[in-house]
Amino acid sequence: MKLIIILKMAKHKSIYFDELTQKCRWTVDSTDGFKYDYKYVGYSTETEYVLLSELLFFLYEEKDITYEEYKSMYKKLRSFCDSIKGLIDES
């Protein structure tokens, strides 16, 4: 019996964050139709976005987070994920 694995291509979407309301979005939409004043953070796959959300909750729990803190953690996680992808590409 052959094992067949079908991988779904990871879709990248944009992450937006509103510091005032402490809300974030992972979407392909532009910010034009958003109810709140979201600022662009970066792009990610769904898995990376969930990982970022879990990491931020672990670090900040119920405390408010600034846009700069959110963006900084995103950049660190983005670098980490890119380095893992680099290891995979090497093998």
- Tell me if residue 39 falls in helix, strand or coil: strand
Work out the burial of residue 52: count CB atoms within 10 Å of its CB; fewer than 13 is exposed, 13-18 middle, 19 or more buried. buried
Number of folded domains in the chain?
1
Q: Confidence class of residue 77 from pLDDT cuts 50, 70 and 90?
A: very high
Any domain includes 27 = no
Provide the domain limits for residue 77: 13-21+38-90
For residue 35, the model assigns a pLDDT of: 75
Neighbours of 74 (CB within 10 A): 22
For residue 51, the model assigns a pLDDT of: 95
Q: Is the pLDDT at 22 greater than 50, yes or no?
A: yes
Any domain includes 4 = no
